[in-house]
Structure 1
Amino acid sequence: MAETDPPVPELQTLSPALYDVGQFAVLGAGLALLAYLLYAVVSRDEVSARYRPSAHAAICLAGVATAAYALLLLDWDTGFRLVDGSYRPTEEARTTEGTRYVDWSVTVPLLTVELLAVCSVAGTAARRLRASTMAAAFLMILTGYLGAQVVDQGRDRLALVVWGLVSTAFLGYLYVALIGAVRRSLPTMGPEAAASLRNATTVLLASFGAYPVVYAVPVFADVTPAWFVTMQVGYSVADVVAKVGFGVLVHKVAKLRTAEDVAAGADTHPEPVWSANVRESEAVPPVPGRRPAGS
């Protein structure tokens, strides 16, 4: 790379303060995701089998994200060396953003599975919608990766714009498809579950919107060390909101819908369903040889 080339975003020399902020963001997000993974594992049986695919998707994405942040922390530790009072990048620093894109290529499709599993779309329509949103989510990440990392190491502004627009088109489809599924589902559930589902959808789609904003920074300006660290903080916060905040809200929807099904006699659950210290339904153990009403 010539001295006059625009700087590769990840290959920035950082002050000790900036290095520490980036490390804090990555470590903090990683620990939050680890805590959420443990929560998702121990709470999966709080919902009925009908909504348990949502819990399973949450466990999978939390596990992948936790592993990715462990690698990110390793990338951060090995990617910079303290020389004359500054942290200078090594070639390993290039893997920092690549690790994030690998993480997102798995976890973002799983986020769509997690949301759709508590919606009321069923049968063939549900399978088609799940497949199309997972594909759109993966292609959204892949095309963003091409612009941000592959073409001229993320320094080609035209490539950033073109691939960013393609990625945004897939994001637009996700907005339309997921909002449509949620709107069709709201009339089929009680007001508390509906409110929680709206909140979860708002959190997810708002956090999705944070990524294009950070992606667009190199389009309009060369990435300075301060901006590079700001990007790491922004991505880490968005990951926690999109995975942990959204996941807790979706789990609440699954519990409330489980309680509604039990109260209506449409399903059983071996333990009382609690939400925010409120008993939403009593325990109704399954009766051998008898199907729940409406099954």
Structure 2
Amino acid sequence: MNNNALWNVTLSSGQHAVIFYALAVAGLALAAFAVRQLTTMHEISVRYRPAAIAGTCVAVVAFLSYIVLVLKFDAGYTQTVDRWTAASNAFLSWAPRYFDWTVTVPLLVVELIAVSSIVGAQAAKYRAIGISLAAGMIITGFIGGVAIDEGTNLAALWIWGAISGLCMVGLYVMFVFMLLHARRDLARSSALQPFQFAITLLIVIWFAYPAVFAFQGFDVTAGTYTTAQVLLSVADIIAKIGFGALIHKVAKLRTAEDVAAGIDTGHDGPVWINGQRATGPQNGRRS
């Protein structure tokens, strides 16, 4: 077996248990967040509801992918005394992450744009560019990291990894422009701070993914693979649940401000955030 492939390692019982634990916890956390998103969608006005819908889709798709990861991880390693040896299909304990990201990363961009201050044709333009860059980032990573020689071709890893990195840089540039727009258009809005935090969180946590991808460029050990699986599970929780919770808060704050301003939002009733009423003295939909 080629030592450049993360999954072609022999795991100790402890390492196998840690990976299984990380995958299961991440999947369950995503399931819980999906339920939370579904049951609180009514708190957000129609104007910002696409963000909640996209966030729910992110959680559901990621949860399903973690079910596949757990099953394939369990089937991909054979126990021998106190060790777990990789089988020929062990790469399937890793590849489903790319299936998940191909769908969920573009949806994360959709979430962000839906609560931003960018609207109309400009929002459509940003959405098209963002989805294209996000999909390109993941697909090119999959080609180099899994599809070509099951991730063991170093030249493919670095070439396709570089292309994926360029897509990532393009997304970061777009995020900066969105942040500048928000600081101008939402300067007096209480939604500005969590919006800025959401962008910062995404920018920072996304660095975990190319860092793990780069592990394949070197001889890897069981410890490397264990660290990579745990790190990506934690990163997925933060990028999908933490980011989604922030976007949900931004949507609620902007809904509350629209209601208080007398804008017909399609939202009935007051808005509550952290147990406090956020709509001001008037409740319900106003026109």
Sort the TM-score into its range (normalised by shorter chain). over 0.9
How many residues matched? 284
1:216 to 207, 211, 214: 214
- 2:282 maps to 1:278: no
Q: Within 1, Cα distance between the matches of 2:183 and 2:263?
A: 18
Aligned residues of 2:4 and 2:151 also touching (Cα < 8 A)? no
Q: Which runs of 4+ in 1 moved over 6 A?
A: none
AA in 1 matched with 2:109 = T
What TM-score, normalized by structure 1, do the two folds share? 0.92
Correspondence for 2:60: 63
- 2:150 maps to 1:156: no
Q: Within 1, Cα distance between the matches of 2:123 and 2:67?
A: 34
Kindly state the Cα deviation for residue 8 of structure 1 after the two structures are TM-superposed.
2.7
Secondary structure of 2:135's partner? Answer: helix
Q: Within 2, Cα distance between the matches of 1:8 and 1:164?
A: 15
Query: Structure 2: 5+ residue runs without aligned partners?
Result: none
- 2:257 maps to 1:260: yes
Residue identity over aligned pairs, in percent, reads: 40
Kindly state the Cα deviation for residue 286 of structure 1 after the two structures are TM-superposed.
3.9
Kindly state the Cα deviation for residue 191 of structure 1 after the two structures are TM-superposed.
4.2
Q: Within 2, Cα distance between the matches of 1:132 and 1:15?
A: 44
Q: Within 2, Cα distance between the matches of 1:34 and 1:49?
A: 24
Computed over aligned residues only, the root mean square deviation of the Cα atoms, in angstroms, reads 1.4
Are residues 23 and 80 of structure 1, via their aligned partners in 2, closer, same or farther at CA, if it must alter by over 3 Å? same
AA in 1 matched with 2:155 = L
AA in 2 matched with 1:114 = E
Correspondence for 1:170: 167
Q: Within 1, Cα distance between the matches of 2:52 and 2:176?
A: 20
Kindly state the Cα deviation for residue 93 of structure 1 after the two structures are TM-superposed.
1.4
Correspondence for 2:51: 54
Query: Per chain length, whose mean CA-contact separation is higher, i.e. which structure has more relative contact order (CA < 8 Å, sep 6+)?
Result: 2
Correspondence for 1:89: 86
Q: Within 2, Cα distance between the matches of 1:7 and 1:188?
A: 48
Aligned residues of 2:118 and 2:178 also touching (Cα < 8 A)? yes
Q: Within 2, Cα distance between the matches of 1:276 and 1:6?
A: 49
Correspondence for 1:207: 205
Kindly state the Cα deviation for residue 85 of structure 1 after the two structures are TM-superposed.
1.8
Kindly state the Cα deviation for residue 162 of structure 1 after the two structures are TM-superposed.
1.1
Write out per-residue CA displacement over residues 224-278 of structure 1, whole angstroms, 9 at most, x where no aligned residue: 1110111000110110000000000110000000111111112343121111222
Q: Within 1, Cα distance between the matches of 2:264 and 2:116?
A: 16
Q: Within 1, Cα distance between the matches of 2:161 and 2:182?
A: 31
Write out per-residue CA displacement over residues 189-218 of structure 1, whole angstroms, 9 at most, x where no aligned residue: 334210010011111111111101111112
Correspondence for 1:196: 194
Correspondence for 2:95: 98
Secondary structure of 2:85's partner? Answer: strand
Write out per-residue CA displacement over residues 18-62 of structure 1, whole angstroms, 9 at most, x where no aligned residue: 000100110111111011101110011111000000000011111
- 2:74 maps to 1:77: yes
Q: Within 2, Cα distance between the matches of 1:235 and 1:158?
A: 24
1:182 to 179, 182, 185: 179
Q: Within 1, Cα distance between the matches of 2:106 and 2:47?
A: 20
Correspondence for 1:145: 142
Q: Within 2, Cα distance between the matches of 1:193 and 1:286?
A: 20
